């Protein structure tokens, strides 16, 4: 009885040790992410909607609202929508967007994606 328990426990530990950490990152990716920034010359709100297409492919919709600041006053809002394709790189553990060449770093611990040093926080 004790030997059977030890064998089962060893198998469970081995199975847990062999789990693919990249898979959890890849499962985390689909969702909506937001990033807000404000500077001397403008205010921007950015939203990424990432959907799993198939295999390692993803579709990204980026919605950006930008307001320039001139002489201390906000100018009218400008909106931009981009539809992008990306692929999960299992070796590098990152999402590579093919049109602009952006690299999306997955941060499961902080519930975010990082692109060029900007953190996009996952809201769902």
Q: Residue 34 is part of a domain; what is its CATH number? A: 2.40.128
69-99: pLDDT as tens digits: 999 999 999 999 999 999 999 999 999 998 8
Count: domains in the chain: 1
* DSSP assigned state of 41: S
Look at residue 33 and tell me if it is in a domain. yes
Look at residue 57 and tell me if it is in a domain. yes
Look at residue 101 and tell me if it is in a domain. yes
Task: Give me the domain span that covers residue 65.
Answer: 22-122
Share of the chain above pLDDT 70, in %: 81
12 pLDDT above the threshold of 50: no
pLDDT-derived band of residue 3, with 50, 70 and 90 as boundaries?
low
Query: What residues contact residue 21 under an 8 Å CB cut-off, 6+ apart?
Result: 93
Instruction: Please give the C-alpha separations between residue 115 and each of 4, 8, 43, 56, 73, in angstroms, as whole numbers.
Output: 49, 43, 18, 19, 29
31 pLDDT above the threshold of 80: yes
pTM, rounded to two decimals:
0.77
Look at residue 87 and tell me if it is in a domain. yes
Look at residue 67 and tell me if it is in a domain. yes
């Amino acid at each position: 009885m004790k030997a059977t328990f030890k064998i089962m426990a060893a198998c469970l530990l081995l199975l847990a040790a062999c789990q693919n950490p990249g898979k959890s990152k890849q499962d985390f990716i689909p969702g909506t992410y937001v990033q807000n920034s404000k500077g001397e010359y403008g205010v921007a709100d950015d939203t990424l909607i990432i959907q799993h297409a198939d295999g390692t492919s993803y579709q990204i919709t980026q919605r950006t609202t930008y307001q320039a600041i001139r002489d201390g006053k906000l100018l009218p809002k400008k909106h931009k929508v981009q539809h992008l394709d990306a692929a999960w790189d299992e070796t590098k553990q990152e999402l590579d967007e093919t049109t602009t060449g952006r690299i999306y770093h997955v941060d499961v611990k902080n519930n975010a994606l990082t692109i060029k040093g900007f953190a996009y926080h996952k809201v769902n």
